Amino acid sequence: MPTTTVRWLTGKQFVGTDSRNHSVVLSGDDPAKGVNPSQMLLIGLSACTAYDVLNIMVKKRKPLTMLEIIADGEQDAKPPWTYRRIHLKYRVSGKDLTEKAVSQAVKLSQEKFCSVAATVRGVAEITTEVEIVAED
């Protein structure tokens, strides 16, 4: 079972460390001092599904040369500022990609493999879109 640690540094700044000893600096109030914890949820969701989509596309023999996920979320106006809607825009490049193939990979990730999506889905509606970007 994964174990993480969050350690208070100073003021409202913290460092979070995962079970593999990778760290990230977080800050609730000052964007110059670290990632906002609630936005870290969006980053975690994006990274979880990115991992899946990359793997699925390799299995489809349509490897990606670029993947960027832009996440935006709508939160309640009052504490605890729960996310109610999260939209993920997948920007991808690769040889002979079709929107159908990428959309299938996204759907598999969202519905079957991504643990973060499975956890968040009970509270927030997750919507997606795919944009195929021409390779340079």
Do the beta carbons of residue 56 and residue 98 sit within 8 Å? no
Tokens at 80, concatenated: 């605890």
Tokens at 62, concatenated: 């349509």
The total number of structural domains that make up the chain: 2
| Same domain? 77 vs 127 | yes
| Same domain? 26 vs 16 | yes
pLDDT given for residue 114 in this prediction: 98
| Same domain? 22 vs 66 | no
DSSP secondary structure letter of residue 124: S
- 121 pLDDT tier (thresholds 50, 70, 90): very high
| Same domain? 120 vs 72 | yes
Q: What angle do CA 131, 133, 134 make, to 5 degrees?
A: 150
Identify the three-state secondary structure at position 123. coil
Per-residue model confidence as pLDDT tens digits over 70-115: 999 999 999 999 999 999 999 999 999 999 999 999 999 999 999 9
pLDDT given for residue 136 in this prediction: 72
| Same domain? 20 vs 72 | no
pLDDT given for residue 29 in this prediction: 76
pLDDT given for residue 47 in this prediction: 98
Residues in contact with 56: Cβ distance below 8 Å, sequence separation at least 6, in sequence order:
104, 105, 108, 109
Tokens at 125, concatenated: 């509606």
Containing 132, the helix (H) or strand (E) segment is strand 125-132
Rounded Cα gap, residues 124 and 126, in angstroms: 6
Per-residue model confidence as pLDDT tens digits over 22-56: 999 999 877 778 999 999 999 999 999 999 999 99
| Same domain? 110 vs 55 | yes
